Amino acid sequence: MAECWQDYVARLVDDGIDDMGLEASIAKLRASDLAMAMATECVQFHGGYGYCQDYRAERLMRDAKITQIWEGTNQIHRQLIGRSFLNK
């Protein structure tokens, strides 16, 4: 689902569509939440090793987490998405 949406948003960019803030917010939100869910599973799967810096799962989890925070936190994106639907 997230991948199809990314392709859709990429097409909007390629087509020169300016008004795509809502679609970009949804893409950012879905992709980063999915990355975090996958990284959490990965750490859990590896047990204590998943938490150690010696293994890559720990780094993947930190990288996934920051994607929920930067480029506008996901909480703020949720509000923007909700408000934009109200305005439509």
Q: Which residues are catalytic?
A: 71
Site for ligand FAD in 58-77 (CB under 6 A): 66, 69-73, 75-76
Return the number of the residue (38 or 69) whose C-beta is nearest ligand FAD. 69
Q: Phi-psi bin for 80: left (phi > 0), alpha (psi -120 to 50), beta?
A: alpha
Q: 25 to each of 14, 40, 46, 53, how far by Cα in Å? A: 17, 22, 32, 31
The residue type found at 22 is L
Helix (H) or strand (E) holding 34: helix 21-46
Q: Does 21 bind ligand FAD (CB under 6 A)?
A: no
Return the number of the residue (46 or 80) whose C-beta is nearest ligand FAD. 80
Nearest distance, CB of residue 79 and ligand FAD, angstroms: 6
Q: How many residues bind ligand FAD (CB under 6 A)?
A: 8
Pick the closest to residue 11 from 29, 1, 30, 24 (CA basis).
24
Site for ligand FAD in 38-57 (CB under 6 A): none
Site for ligand FAD, rule CB under 6 A: 66, 69-73, 75-76
